Amino acid sequence: MRRDPSRLWRARLILEDGSVFRGTSFGAEGESGGEVVFNTAMSGYQEVLTDPSYTGQIVCMTAPLVGNYGVTGEDMERDRPSVAGFLVREASTMASNYRAREDLRGWLSRFGVIALEGMDTRAITRRVRDKGAMRGFVTTEPLEDDVLQRRLRDVEELVGRDLVSPVSRTSEEEWTEPVASTWLPDYPKKTTDARMRVVAFDFGAKDSILRCLRSLGCDVIVVPSGATAEEVLAHAPDGVFLSNGPGDPRPLEGPTAVVRELLGCVPMFGICLGHQIMAQAVGAEIVKLKFGHHGSNHPVKDLTTGKVEITAQNHGFAVTRESLEECSVRVTHLNLNDGTVEGMELPDRQAFSVQYHPEASPGPHDALYLFERFRDLMVEARAS
């Protein structure tokens, strides 16, 4: 057997609602805890695993067959996986793709990720859907239920924690890698000779975002999440970018204050956590969603054009629409599934943001235009 028989059905997952699932370990040995979320993307497990926004989360893939095409350096969103655990129905025992450099099993083991297969991932998904995102604990040892219960109690809540600081860069860095034209031959649509300077806050940024900015013709300076307004402005940027990142934005008082300071001084674009921080900076309210949005098929309506884009999403918190309206911020995008805010605009302060991921990776490219919009905003600002 290519699956190690001694590992069969030894691993365990316990959820906060008390349910216990058996599985087979296919990654590192050990144990781990975190918030259990499900992701509905059918491809892109490598991007999901390396997205820092999943820090502190055990990710359950609804797509049952994972690992089929292995892993490759090009598809990394950061230099290592961030998830607290990984749950699938069946992990491939081989990597079938000309780009594959390694198989998923070996790669996960190498990075110490606890990964379980053989799971009834649909049952887990339905529990999370019905009861909301909850804590979970995974172990590769067949522990008794009462032991599992005790370990689960020690797992920290995600709400109210600053998960950004540990994943953010600690020093400034210039980003020079563009997107690969093989995969995005038409991006960006229009080019400009003018080089823009963008300072990008790293709250746990996905590399794809930085690549997208670079390909726009920007000099991209990535700064740590704790960078001050003076440090940012010292670069004389044409624009400031607020990245995605893990967890709850509410404890991130420092970055929120800095963003508040910068708003209006310089064009600004935020994605995901960056969007939430921007909203928080203008006084909007952030709430935790029941189980969040994690997947590649979320329909988002652009309220300006009426067109729908299919988007990649990964967030557990959202900005409330009412609070934005109170702050006289224009809501520009809405999620068609549940009506949550997906985008906003602060025209008087040359800033806009989206809750979803225009850089995709994984996911559809429908929203790439937003990067071009950011560039246009910077070009305009420079001209005036």
Q: Rounded CA gap, 161 and 246, in Å?
A: 10
| 144 φ/ψ angles, rounded to the nearest 5 degrees | -70, 160
Residues near other proteins (CB under 8 A) are 1-2, 8-9, 21, 38, 40-44, 46-47, 62-65, 68-69, 72, 74-75, 89-90, 92-94, 96-99, 120-123, 125-126, 129, 180, 182-186, 295-299, 301, 306-308, 310, 336-337, 360-365
Least distance (Å) between residue 53 CB and other proteins: 16
DSSP calls for 267-303: -EEEETHHHHHHHHHTT--EEEEEEEEEEEEEEEEET
372 is catalytic: no
Q: Look up residue 16 and give its two tokens.
A: 């906060």
Q: In the bound complex, what is the minimum distance in angstroms from residue 75's beta carbon to other proteins? A: 6
| Minimum distance, C-beta of residue 379 to other proteins, in the bound complex (Å) | 25
Token couple for 140 = 């590769």
Establish whether 117 is a catalytic residue: no
Give the nearer residue to other proteins in terms of CB position, either 134 or 378: 134
Residue 137 is encoded by which pair of tokens?
């604990």
Closest CA to 294 of 248, 356, 213: 356
- Which residue of the set 212, 357, 365, 372 is catalytic? 357
Going through the chain in order, the beta strands assigned E by DSSP cover 11-15, 20-25, 31-39, 57-61, 65-66, 85-87, 90-91, 115-117, 134-139, 173-175, 196-202, 218-224, 239-242, 268-271, 286-302, 308-319, 330-335, 341-346, 351-354
Report the alpha-carbon distance of residue 164 to residue 252 in Å, rounded.
8
Q: How far is the CB of 43 from other proteins (least distance, A)?
A: 4
Q: Is 357 a catalytic residue?
A: yes
Query: What is the closest distance, in whole angstroms, from the C-beta atom of residue 227 to other proteins in the complex?
Result: 31
Give the burial class of 158: count Cβ atoms within 10 A of its Cβ; 0-12 exposed, 13-18 middle, 19 or more buried: buried
Residues classed as catalytic: 272, 357, 359
